[in-house]
């Protein structure tokens, strides 16, 4: 690898880093750090192309292979020493030669793998200089696969010849041949996994350096890389979703998703393990900051009684309507929540043919789904107006029912359950929401907006709502949903508000990146969102993902520990907790260099990132296609009090509730519960616990106030 002249290393400024072709280190492939370190990209370059693996990723694979090889070598040596006298049979000389040569070959491989593992432990993510010999070691290791394959083939041929030797010896040699081919096959699979289709385009640019290109050529090359990345991602998505149809909506979703992935992933020079290490460091950094914070000052004014009553009333409504949002998932969630008894309860419905009761319900693919819906909601057949589990891209399942307890017509939209739903989620461009309201800025998430529009057309054009209100004209309209369904429910409520001014919406764990700030403020009078703990989805938007990427780049660039130590400590911390004070800053004089404007950080990012900012305090610049979007309505935040286990597996957890501002969800929080807090069964359990605790404390005003806060 080249070395930067010392003067450039010391005098490189932030302007150089962002000046495009004017700055010699502004593009992919440069990893600058302090002192006399080499600059190189984390992605390893072999055979003239970049691979999706770094030179410090070989510690754990190397250790695993080393253990297997050593045990294998000991086994072969034991076999040879114990049965050497039984090899004087016909063909025994060949088998004896096979074992001796195999032991020698294994000894050489063990030495090379040991060297690879030791070299891989050196340096840091952004300082691969101490690992500069890795490429030579890997070339030697790959070259040794040729004699291994030849010798494994010869061993298989000799054994197949029907050698007349002791059966134990023959079986042992068969085992060595099988192990040889297993290791060879595993190596081939590993190479396929770490193959980067764009590596051939990136490696020459990285090695030559952007200073060899003028502004026009540099822009042309980077645009070409982005186009190629979009094409690669689209191919991957089509292969993954090959069974979901080829209609127009699906093709549009493929393109939208591919563009999102290429925009987000293709402007960094990080391999997957770097991202894992960055997330581990961020989690510890986040906990360290929280632990070192001064205790929050007590608010000078207690929440008013009207706010308390409002929170209590909305929590009770959320507890009630969450049953409908969960019911929309059908039998899979019901079986998951009731693994021992669920199948027995709805088994009869799965096998039952349609009766006259079902004739009152439109839709398709009912049976098991309908049985689980009845058990979850506690309603009767006659209470349902429509049940549909029709599922395509931009077309979500939904149910419409009469809720006599709350005197409401409930529309429940299902959340993400299929690949089609995932494509709807990932169609994250913004489009103008066609809705009758006084709001000027009506941008919304394209995929969820299209899904809400589909449900709207079904409700209005098919006369479903008209039928419901002809039966119960005095009832009010309530729209609910969880996750993707929560976002669609919020948009649907906004679309229907002109015709149904009293509409209410309860969005459970909705995505943050739903719609514009103006629509967020407009929706506060009729939409309530409920968020549990560190749930990632209510914090998930393209803007927040860019912020997360920036934070990962910063913590990775500033880290002075080898990656294998970061990952080991991170795994231990996630499983068992402990001290989060894991060093992430370079020591001594090196730290001073990294206090300059993110030199190491920018080196991991190409200059065509749409949303990168140098300052940690400055807002991210937004791509026109992905402007900042916000969550729906007023937000109730449920938080766990105390510790009930790092993965939320304890059912004795206690929760508090408060009204929260959307700004509290402007950053993605890293932790073991960021995914489990999104699960509908966990949310239902939290609501059950909270509502029962608050009901028990009605006579204890001091306790009741303590769990309530107003942000």
Q: What's the pLDDT score for residue 180? A: 82
Q: How would DSSP label each residue in 355-419?
A: -HHHHT-B-SS-THHHHHHHHHH---GGGEEEEE---BTTB--EEEEEETTTTEEEEEE----SH
CA–CA separation, 176 and 158 (whole Å): 13
Q: What's the pLDDT score for residue 641? A: 83
Of 77-86, 252-261, 595-604, the range with the lowest mean pLDDT is 595-604
Q: Are 266 and 226 in contact (CB under 8 A)?
A: yes
Q: How would DSSP label each residue in 410-447?
A: EEEE----SHHHHHHHH---EEE----SS-S--EEEHH
Residue bearing the bigger pLDDT, 270 or 447: 447
Q: What's the pLDDT score for residue 218? A: 60
Identity of the highest mean pLDDT range in 372-386, 402-416, 594-608: 402-416
Query: Per-residue confidence at 329, pLDDT binned at 50, 70, 90?
Result: very high
CA–CA separation, 233 and 197 (whole Å): 10
Of 115-119, 221-225, 298-302, 419-423, the range with the lowest mean pLDDT is 298-302
Per-residue pLDDT tens over the stretch 171-189? 777 888 888 888 888 888 9
Residue bearing the bigger pLDDT, 229 or 306: 229
Q: Where in the chain is the domain with CATH 3.40.50.1820?
A: 325-530
Query: Per-residue confidence at 11, pLDDT binned at 50, 70, 90?
Result: very low
CA-nearest of 164, 204, 165, 189 to 61 is 189
**Tokens 């689209």 label which residue?**
234
Q: Are 350 and 371 in contact (CB under 8 A)?
A: yes
Per-residue pLDDT tens over the stretch 121-169? 999 888 888 999 999 999 999 999 888 888 888 877 776 666 667 777 7
How much is the pTM? 0.80
Q: What's the pLDDT score for residue 687? A: 95
* Residue 605, pLDDT above cutoff 60: no
DSSP assignment, residue 299?
A: P
Mean pLDDT over all residues of the chain? Answer: 79
CA-nearest of 446, 497, 441 to 259 is 446
Question: Is 535 designated active site?
Answer: yes
Q: What's the pLDDT score for residue 609? A: 45
Per-residue pLDDT tens over the stretch 101-112? 889 999 999 999
3-state SS string for 26-54: CCCCCCCCCCCCCCCCCEEEECCEEEEEE
Structurally, at CATH architecture level, domain 325-530 sits in: 3-Layer(aba) Sandwich (3.40)
Mean pLDDT calculated for residue range 51-57:
90
Question: Is 207 designated active site?
Answer: no
Beta bridge pairs of residue 641 = 654
3-state SS string for 96-138: HHHHHHHHHHHHHHHHHHHHHHHHHCCCECCECHHHCCHHHHH
Per-residue pLDDT tens over the stretch 477-511? 999 999 999 999 999 999 999 999 999 999 999 99
Beta bridge pairs of residue 388 = 398
Q: Are 519 and 445 in contact (CB under 8 A)?
A: no
Per-residue pLDDT tens over the stretch 690-708? 988 877 776 555 444 444 4
Q: Which residue in 483, 523, 529, 609 is the catalytic one?
A: 483
Q: Which residue in 535, 547, 677, 709 is the catalytic one?
A: 535
CA–CA separation, 682 and 336 (whole Å): 11
CA–CA separation, 155 and 594 (whole Å): 56
């Amino acid at each position: 690898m080249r070395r930067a002249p010392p003067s450039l290393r010391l005098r490189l400024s932030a302007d150089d880093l962002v000046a495009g072709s004017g700055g010699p280190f502004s593009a992919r492939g440069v990893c600058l750090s302090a002192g006399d370190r080499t600059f190189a990209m984390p992605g390893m370059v072999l055979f003239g192309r970049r691979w999706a693996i770094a030179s410090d990723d070989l510690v754990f694979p190397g250790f695993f292979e080393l253990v297997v090889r050593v045990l294998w070598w000991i086994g072969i040596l034991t076999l040879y020493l114990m049965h050497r006298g039984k090899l004087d049979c016909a063909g025994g000389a060949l088998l004896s030669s096979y074992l001796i040569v195999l032991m020698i070959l294994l000894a050489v491989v063990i030495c090379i793998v040991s060297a690879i593992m030791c070299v891989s432990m050196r340096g840091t993510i952004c300082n691969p200089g101490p690992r500069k010999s890795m490429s030579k070691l890997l070339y030697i290791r790959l070259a040794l696969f040729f004699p291994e394959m030849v010798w494994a083939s010869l061993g298989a041929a000799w054994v197949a010849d029907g050698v007349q030797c002791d059966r134990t010896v023959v079986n042992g040699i068969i085992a060595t041949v099988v192990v040889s081919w297993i290791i060879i096959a595993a190596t081939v699979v590993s190479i396929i996994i770490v193959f980067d289709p764009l590596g051939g385009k990136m490696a020459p640019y990285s090695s030559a350096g952007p200073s060899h290109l003028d502004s026009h050529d540099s822009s042309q090359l980077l645009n070409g890389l982005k186009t190629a990345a979009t094409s690669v991602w689209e191919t991957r998505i089509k292969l993954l979703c090959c069974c979901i149809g080829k209609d127009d909506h699906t093709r549009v979703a493929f393109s939208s998703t591919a563009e999102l992935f290429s925009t987000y992933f293709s402007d960094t020079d990080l391999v997957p393990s770097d991202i894992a290490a960055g997330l581990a460091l961020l989690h510890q950094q986040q906990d360290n900051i929280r632990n070192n914070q001064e205790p929050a000052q007590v608010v000078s004014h207690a929440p008013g009684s009207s706010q308390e009553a409002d929170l209590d009333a909305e929590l009770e409504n959320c507890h009630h309507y969450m049953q409908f949002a969960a019911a929309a998932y059908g039998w899979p969630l019901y079986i998951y929540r009731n693994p021992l008894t669920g199948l027995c309860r709805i088994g009869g419905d799965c096998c039952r043919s349609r009766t006259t009761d079902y004739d009152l319900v439109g839709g398709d693919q009912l049976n098991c789904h309908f049985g689980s819906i009845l058990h979850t909601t506690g309603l009767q057949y006659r209470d349902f107006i429509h049940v549909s589990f029709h599922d395509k891209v931009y077309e979500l399942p939904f149910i419409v029912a009469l809720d006599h307890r709350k005197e409401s017509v409930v529309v429940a939209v299902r959340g993400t359950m299929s690949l089609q739903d995932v494509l709807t989620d990932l169609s994250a461009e913004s489009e103008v929401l066609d809705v009758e309201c006084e709001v000027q800025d009506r941008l919304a998430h394209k995929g969820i907006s299209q899904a809400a529009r589909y449900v709207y057309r079904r409700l209005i054009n098919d006369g479903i709502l008209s039928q419901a209100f002809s039966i119960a004209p005095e009832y009010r309209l309530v729209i609910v949903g969880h996750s993707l369904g929560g976002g669609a429910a919020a948009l649907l409520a906004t679309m229907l508000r002109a015709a149904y001014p009293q509409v209410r919406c309860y969005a459970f764990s909705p995505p943050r990146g739903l719609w514009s700030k103006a629509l967020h403020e407009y929706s506060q009078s009729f939409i309530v969102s409920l968020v549990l703990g560190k749930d990632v989805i209510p914090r998930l938007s393209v803007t927040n993902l860019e912020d997360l990427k920036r934070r990962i780049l910063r913590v990775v660039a500033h880290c002075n520990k080898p990656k294998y130590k970061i990952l080991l400590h991170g795994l231990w911390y996630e499983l068992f907790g402990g001290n989060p004070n894991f060093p992430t800053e370079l020591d001594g004089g090196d730290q001073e260099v990294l206090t300059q404007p993110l030199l190491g950080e920018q080196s991991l990012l190409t200059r065509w990132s749409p949303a990168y900012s140098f300052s940690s305090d400055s807002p991210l610049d937004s791509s026109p296609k992905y402007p900042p979007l916000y969550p729906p309505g007023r937000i109730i935040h449920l938080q766990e009090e105390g510790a009930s286990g790092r993965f939320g597996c304890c059912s004795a957890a206690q929760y508090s509730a408060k009204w929260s501002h959307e700004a509290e969800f402007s950053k993605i929080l890293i932790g073991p519960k960021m995914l489990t807090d999104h699960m509908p069964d966990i949310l239902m359990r939290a609501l059950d616990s909270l509502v029962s605790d608050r009901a028990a404390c009605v006579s204890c005003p001091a306790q009741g106030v303590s769990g309530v806060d107003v942000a």
